[in-house]
Structure 1
Amino acid sequence: MFGNFGWDETPLGSDGLLAFNRLGEKLWSASGYEVADCYALNVENAANVYFYYYDSFRFIHLSNYAEVASYNVKGKDTIDQFVLVGNTILAVVDTHSVMQYEVRNRTLKPKGSVDFINGKGKRIKGTIYMRGENVYLITKDMVYWKGVQGFL
């Protein structure tokens, strides 16, 4: 992507993040953001997309390919994946922990860590995936799923 030795042609991924239609035609690119690496992406639906990127570490909300909001992210953690719950974001940080962020005044501020508890009151550990409005926690014996509506 950086072309340390130059390019004969501009590479497909030079904008860092792109959207295509079903025919493979480019609909949008993140050319104005200088995305070196997209750390986290959540496509809520065809119109709403959120992404968090290096090297500015901004959290961006797009609606119909136009920027709706840009958020500053406080704290030292790196967001790997996330879901939105009203004015709160649940995010996997540093690949293994879940952090709750409060959204206020175009800033995401860490509010505290999140633990997952089963029906017996026991803490659940496993691999976490966040997609759309869903959180999945996978252990060696079980797959847990929860939609974010009514989560917090």
Structure 2
Amino acid sequence: MLTYPLAQFPLRRLTASYRAGRLIATGISADGHILIVEETTDELEKEPILSIHQLKDEWRKTTIVPKEEIDFSLIDCFSDGRLLLVASRCDDDVDGTWLPNAFIYDPQGNLLDSFCLDDGIQNIQIDEQGWIWVSYFDEGVYADAVTSSNGAFGLVAFNDKGEVQYKNRQYPIDDCYALNVCSSQEVWFFYYSDYRFVRLEQTEDLVCEAPAIAYSQFARHEDYLLASNTDVIQLLKRTGTVYEVIREVSFLTEQGDSLTGDLTMRNDLIVLSTGKQLYFGTLGRRLSSLLPNE
């Protein structure tokens, strides 16, 4: 792999992100709230529960829901405060139908609805109008192709009843590696095997060539993307319809200490989760310090 000049990106510690349990999922809502789900124990009932925290700066709101017999791995919320928990995988019932893997709760933790979004989910993000955008990895794409299920399309949008509103019919998605729903009018995704970044448009989509790297998360600002996989974090610049790497990036605390952890990105917001805390920053605010000197 080619090497590029290294730029350092300081992230701020999120004050209200302290945790007491096992981290289950991290997400970012359409309005920029950071969401985390952790498994804890009800001290009175001595039963496992899920604590869903909505965070912004020093503000924190927690919703408690029972721990279902399902391995949730994805979280988001609707603009009216309803919460969505999703499992990446789903099982079939004795009659062959899929069991639910998406569960909607009200802000008090009461279960409102559940339905199936198909198996092999890579990511989910809800836009401001309430559509649930779902991307699928290869097992979901090819397993569902046999039954012509939704996952076979690689990228699908559902409403809050689990009804399909959009299916990708244009791009040959073998694996939808990354998803960034900035708004209902600006939906980005990155897919294999073509290694393309796509911005969906009502008139004409923007389709851009990219390095042959399995980016799993990316933030965007103007003509720049900050993209990451398990091995590298890179700053990419768009020229025409081609994204090229111009920097490699490492994260630091504001005190200058190295930061590593699990990344979640949406719009231009970057969230890094360590064992005990969350750190965050925005690409737009730091972009000028990351760019090469002209």
TM-score, length of structure 1 as denominator length = 0.84
- Alignment correspondent of 2:224: 88
Q: Which residue number in structure 2 is paired with residue 32 of structure 1?
A: 170
Letter in 2 for 1:14: A
**CA displacement at 1:58 relative to structure 2:** 1.0
**Higher relative contact order (Cα pairs below 8 Å, separated by 6+ residues):** 2
Which of 262, 271, 280 lines up with 1:145 in the alignment? Answer: 280
Q: Does 1:79 align with 2:209?
A: no
| Aligned partner of 1:61 among 196, 199, 212 | 199
Matched AA of 2:246: K
Which is further off, 42-51 or 135-144? 135-144
- Give CA deviations for 1:33-60 in whole Å, capped at 9, x if unaligned: 1111101111111221101111111110
Task: Judge which range, 98-107 or 113-122, deviates more.
Answer: 113-122
Code of the residue aligned with 1:123 in structure 2: it is S
Paired with 2:177 and 2:226, the residues of 1 have a C-alpha distance of: 15
Counterpart of 2:148 in structure 1 is 10
C-alpha distance 62-79 of structure 1, shift in aligned 2 (>3 A): same
Structure with larger Rg: 2
Does the Cα contact within 8 Å between 2:268 and 2:282 map onto a contact in 1? Answer: yes
Contact 1:85 1:151 in 2 (8 A): no
Q: Which amino acid aligns with 1:69?
A: L
Q: Structure 1: 5+ residue runs without aligned partners?
A: none
Alpha carbons of 1:24 and 1:87: their partners in 2 closer, same or farther (altered >3 Å)? Answer: same
- Where 1:84 maps in the other structure, the secondary structure is strand
Q: Is the 8 A contact 1:18 1:28 kept in 2?
A: yes
**Distance in 2 between residues matched to 1:2 and 1:116, nearest whole Å:** 36
Aligned-residue Cα RMSD (Å) equals 2.2
2-side partners of 1:140 and 1:20: how far apart? 33
- Alignment CA distance shift 1:26-1:106 (3 Å): same
Cα distance in 2 for partners of 1:142, 1:13 equals 34
Distance verdict in 2 for CA 1:108–1:40, change over 3 Å: same
Is 1:135 aligned to 2:270, yes or no? yes
Match of residue 50 from structure 1: 188
Q: For 1:59-107, what per-residue CA distance to the aligned partner results, in whole angstroms no more than 9, with x for missing partners?
A: 100135x543000013x422111010221100012x2421110111110
- Extract structure 1 runs of 4+ deviating beyond 6 A: none
Give yes or no for contact 2:195–2:213 (8 Å, CA) kept in 1. Answer: no
- Name the structure 2 match of 1:116: 251
Letter in 1 for 2:198: I
Distance between the aligned counterparts of 1:21 and 1:63, measured in 2? 19
